[in-house]
Amino acid sequence: MPTEPPDPAATAALFDLLGEETRLRIVRELYRHRREEPDEPGLSFSALGARVGVEDTGRFNYHLGRLRGSLVEKRAGRYVLTPLGAHLGAVALESAAPDPAGPSP
């Protein structure tokens, strides 16, 4: 049975979400944490912000909020990737050029 092609509008919306550098770094860092610490679920707001390297918490909160629901969820006070977010995080991390913000701590 053939699978339905992805909805072009939904695909464009995902590219729009990840087209902003801070949001892409959030997804990458959550995926990197998931891969490096599989037994530790997610990151707190402050830990994720530190890994992403955004000092303006209002700006960081705005971008994190844009990702919530589709690519990121909050569980027990920690941010984790949705299944789609994990898939895109893997692609983003494995195919990315070096992060201009430098390596994560």
What digits encode the pLDDT tens for the residues 41-70?
A: 899 999 999 999 999 999 999 999 999 999
Opening angle at CA 20, ends 66 and 90, nearest 5: 85
Whether pLDDT at 95 is above 80 = no
Domain range holding 12?
8-95
85: enclosing H helix or E strand: helix 83-95
- Do the Cβ atoms of 68 and 80 come closer than 8 Å? no
Query: CA 59, CA 43: separation in Å to the nearest integer?
Result: 18
Q: Please indicate, yes or no, if residue 102 is contained in any of the structural domains.
A: no
Q: Please indicate, yes or no, if residue 3 is contained in any of the structural domains.
A: no
Q: What is the CATH number of the domain that holds 69?
A: 1.10.10
What is the domain count for the chain?
1
Query: CA 48, CA 51: separation in Å to the nearest integer?
Result: 5
Look up residue 104 and give its DSSP letter: -
pLDDT value at position 8? 83
